[in-house]
């Protein structure tokens, strides 16, 4: 018996034309997902209007009220009713959907907001009187006079009152307010020369206030990022500015040792538009591939600028995704641009490592007790001179001039080996002075000390050496005695063979095997015995998801990393002074030596002034 299909009517359905209100409510479901989406659309309209200052106010997490006020060029009374029609916009004429230079262009935001909420728009353009219009649940009211200075004010009240089912999917007021703040921050990064204010009317407080930045692009952007992401980010980030075939990459990428536990500190902009594009996020991840462990995420703010004809921004109703005409070019630029910047940073590690070290050295008071007051050197009683102390001790016991002949009241110290003073202290990592616990090198610099993890540092040095050798000599492959046949779909076979040359350079040799299958002839020798079928399927998954695959190169790098780990200086080995200094000099000349293969720092640099603070000397 044939099962009933409840979604298919048994009678001939009648095709009906939905009215404009229903169409706008359906469109609102795509454009306005939550209050933060409404804020995004309204702030983008303000920026497109040339605003120099934007104020955003909200109540009830944006569900009760959203108000956006700007000082842009405004709208005339005749334009207000037209702005509420679907697909009515002043930003394009419809003849070219690729040559887009503005945030908005679809003409859907305002009618969608008016269909699901109570929307009031008041605006005044230069040379015109102020006017306002109200739309409630899709019903448009008349245009009325309004006392308003130049610019526009949009009030959106009771969002989703016309579609109460959507309210059930809203999160708490606090979560929605946080999403609004994140949206404003991302747009503020894209426009550092515009001032922003964010107000929480329920709490009566100013959540965010950003004055318009001054100066050139990088100066203004750095100041804006320091306010939004913290001074630590800008101090530990590398400036990016590179171009290839008309595509420019600029912004800041943080050092690997300044990593995060999630991707919250990753912001990508295409022609000034904030996007969440999986191709670009994948490229950012690939750029840090062999410098971070799997549970850490890089921090970066990337701006990609290219000819609007080379990117399609009309692939998502909320314009959160884009499609590039040459995705390989853009991805390659992001990966190579960040890797070159990291390599140019040499042995540099983030300053947060030293800050965490100093914080760990701070004495902690016992539970239930107040911290002891700090005693300063000037408050201590005067001490006797060295000569007075010498005479005092001489009266009690003969002074031993030769320390080697002195009695040893304690067992010899085996945890530290003191080396004679040699090596340049003016070098970036200084001169080795001691080895502690046969694992940590203490070096003296011109203005502080450096503590080096000898195993982690040498592991990175060996790893980089192996990668250079592989790049120069290629990846050796081993031929399989019996080629492994992997059955695939026709589409997967074609996609895989498009990248056959690149895979062959990595030691994986593939050939078509007739029909819908490929033959694996050779595999990378470094991988040893490998499951060729699983490797091919992993590569296909990445090709389908990102358009390129790093699965094979990542496996080879993992093997090189393990080889470097086993071939490096082990913990517990005593090192001579010349060996320790040679390690320091090689670290200074090797890119990425500030972190090991797993993203952990290889050294900690402490300034003498910070050390003196620990002892109350400053």
Q: pLDDT value at position 543?
A: 77
The Cα-based distances of 556 to 356, 474, 497, 546 in angstroms read 34, 12, 20, 20
Residue with the two structure tokens 């290219």 = 306
| Same-domain check for residues 237 and 97 | no
Question: Treating both helix axes as pointing N-terminal to C-terminal, what angle do 454-473 and 577-589 enclose, rounded to 10 degrees?
Answer: 50
Structure tokens at 135: 């739309």
Which CATH number fits the domain that encloses residue 166? 3.30.565.10
Supply the Cα-derived Rg of the chain in whole angstroms: 32
Domain's final residue, options 313, 344, 375: 344
390 inside domain: no
Is the model's pLDDT at 513 over the cut of 50? yes
Structure tokens at 374: 């700090």
Is the model's pLDDT at 47 over the cut of 70? yes
| Same-domain check for residues 289 and 311 | yes
> Over pLDDT 90: what percentage of the chain?
29
Q: Give the count of domains, the chain.
A: 3
**Average pLDDT of span 194-218:** 93
| Same-domain check for residues 227 and 179 | no
605 inside domain: no
580 inside domain: no
Per residue in 250-295, pLDDT (tens digit) is 999 998 888 888 888 999 999 988 988 888 998 998 888 878 877 7
- The pTM (predicted TM-score) of the whole model is 0.74
Which CATH number fits the domain that encloses residue 559? 3.30.1370.100
| Same-domain check for residues 511 and 555 | yes
Report d(CA 267, CA 274) in Å as an integer. 7
DSSP letters spanning 525-576: GGG-S--HHHHHHHHHHHHHHHSS--HHHHHHHHHHHHHHHHHSPPTT----
Report d(CA 36, CA 183) in Å as an integer. 6
**Average pLDDT of span 171-177:** 92
The 3-class SS string of 102-144 reads CCCCCCCHHHHHHHHCEEEEEEECCCCCCEEEEEECCEECCCE
pLDDT band at 90 (very low <50, low <70, confident <90, very high): low
| Same-domain check for residues 186 and 223 | no
24 inside domain: yes
| Same-domain check for residues 129 and 233 | no
Q: Given CA atoms 339, 343, 344, 346 in this order, what sign does their dihedral have?
A: positive
Per residue in 366-400, pLDDT (tens digit) is 555 555 554 444 444 444 443 443 444 344 444 33
| Same-domain check for residues 142 and 269 | no
The residue range of the domain holding 89 is 20-210
337 inside domain: yes
Higher pLDDT, 598 or 114: 114
**Average pLDDT of span 600-609:** 87
Is the model's pLDDT at 58 over the cut of 60? yes
31 inside domain: yes
Domain's final residue, options 293, 311, 344: 344
Domain's final residue, options 210, 234, 249: 210
**Average pLDDT of span 47-65:** 93
Which CATH number fits the domain that encloses residue 227? 3.30.230.10
Report d(CA 614, CA 617) in Å as an integer. 8
Is the model's pLDDT at 170 over the cut of 90? no
Per residue in 446-493, pLDDT (tens digit) is 888 999 999 989 988 888 888 887 878 777 888 888 889 998 888 888
Nearest CA among 25, 156, 152, 132 for reference residue 86: 25
Average pLDDT, the chain: 80
| Same-domain check for residues 31 and 93 | yes
291 inside domain: yes
Residue with the two structure tokens 């390659």 = 332
Report d(CA 499, CA 364) in Å as an integer. 58
pLDDT band at 24 (very low <50, low <70, confident <90, very high): low
Output the CA angle 399-405-408, nearest 5 degrees.
90
**Average pLDDT of span 291-308:** 88
The three-class DSSP label of residue 28 is: helix
| Same-domain check for residues 205 and 267 | no
Among 218-222, 299-303, 390-394, 583-587, the minimum mean pLDDT is found in: 390-394
| Same-domain check for residues 206 and 225 | no
139 inside domain: yes
Output the CA angle 344-281-228, nearest 5 degrees.
75
Question: Treating both helix axes as pointing N-terminal to C-terminal, what angle do 278-287 and 327-344 enclose, rounded to 10 degrees?
Answer: 30
| Same-domain check for residues 227 and 171 | no
| Same-domain check for residues 203 and 224 | no
Highest mean pLDDT among 53-57, 112-116, 360-364: 53-57
pLDDT band at 412 (very low <50, low <70, confident <90, very high): very low
């Amino acid at each position: 018996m044939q099962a009933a299909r409840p979604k298919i009517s048994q009678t001939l359905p009648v095709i009906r034309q939905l009215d404009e209100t229903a169409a706008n409510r359906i469109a609102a479901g795509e454009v306005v997902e939550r209050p933060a989406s409404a804020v995004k659309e309204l702030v983008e309209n303000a920026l497109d209007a040339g605003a120099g200052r934007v104020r955003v106010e909200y109540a009830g997490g944006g569900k009760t009220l959203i108000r956006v006020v700007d000082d842009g060029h405004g709208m005339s009374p005749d334009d207000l009713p037209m702005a509420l029609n679907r697909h009515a916009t002043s930003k394009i004429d419809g003849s070219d959907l690729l040559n887009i230079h503005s945030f908005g262009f679809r003409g859907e935001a305002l009618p969608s907001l008016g269909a699901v909420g109570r929307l009031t728009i008041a605006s005044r353009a230069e040379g015109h009187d102020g006017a306002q219009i109200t739309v409630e649940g899709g019903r448009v009211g008349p245009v009325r006079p309004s006392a308003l200075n130049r610019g526009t004010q949009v009030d959106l009240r009771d969002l989703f009152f016309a579609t109460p089912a959507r309210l059930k999917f809203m999160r708490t007021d606090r979560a929605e307010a946080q999403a609004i703040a994140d949206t404003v921050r991302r747009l503020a990064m894209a426009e550092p020369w515009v001032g922003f204010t964010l107000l929480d009317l329920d709490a009566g407080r100013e959540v965010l206030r950003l004055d318009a930045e001054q100066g050139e692009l990088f100066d203004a952007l750095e100041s804006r990022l320091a306010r939004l992401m913290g001074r630590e980010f800008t101090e530990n980030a590398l400036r990016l500015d590179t171009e290839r075939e008309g595509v420019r990459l600029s912004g800041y990428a943080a050092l690997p040792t300044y990593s995060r536990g999630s991707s919250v500190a990753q912001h990508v902009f295409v022609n000034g538009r904030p996007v969440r594009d999986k191709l670009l996020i994948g490229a950012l991840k690939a750029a840090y591939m062999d410098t971070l462990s799997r549970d850490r995420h890089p921090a970066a703010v990337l701006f990609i600028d290219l000819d609007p004809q080379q990117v399609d921004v009309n692939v998502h109703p909320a314009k959160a995704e884009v499609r590039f005409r040459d995705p390989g070019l853009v991805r390659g630029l992001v990966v190579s641009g960040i890797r070159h910047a990291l390599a140019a940073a040499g042995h540099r590690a983030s300053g947060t490592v030293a800050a965490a070290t100093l914080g760990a050295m701070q004495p902690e008071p016992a539970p239930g007790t107040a911290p002891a007051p700090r005693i300063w050197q000037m408050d201590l009683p005067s001490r006797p001179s060295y000569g007075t102390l010498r005479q005092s001790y001489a009266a009690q016991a003969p002074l031993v001039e030769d320390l080697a002949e002195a009695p040893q009241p304690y067992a010899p110290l085996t945890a530290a080996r003191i080396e004679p003073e040699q090596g340049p202290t003016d070098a970036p990592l200084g001169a080795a002075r001691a080895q502690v616990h046969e694992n940590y090198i203490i070096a003296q610099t011109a203005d502080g000390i450096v503590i080096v993890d000898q195993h982690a540092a040498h592991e990175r040095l060996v790893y980089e050496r192996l990668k250079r050798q592989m790049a120069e000599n290629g990846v050796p492959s081993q031929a399989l005695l019996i080629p492994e046949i992997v059955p695939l779909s026709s589409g997967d076979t074609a996609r895989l063979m498009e990248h056959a040359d690149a895979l062959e350079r990595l030691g994986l040799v593939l050939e078509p095997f007739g029909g819908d299958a490929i033959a694996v002839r050779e595999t990378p020798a470094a991988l040893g015995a490998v499951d060729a079928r699983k490797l091919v399927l992993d590569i296909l998954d990445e090709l389908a998801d990102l358009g390129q695959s790093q699965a094979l190169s990542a496996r080879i790098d993992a093997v090189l990393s393990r080889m470097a780990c086993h071939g490096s200086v082990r913990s517990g080995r005593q090192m001579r002074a010349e060996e320790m200094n040679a390690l320091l000099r090689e670290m200074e000349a090797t890119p990425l030596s500030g972190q090991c293969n797993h993203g952990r720092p290889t050294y900690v640099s402490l300034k003498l002034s910070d050390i003196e603070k620990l002892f109350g000397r400053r």
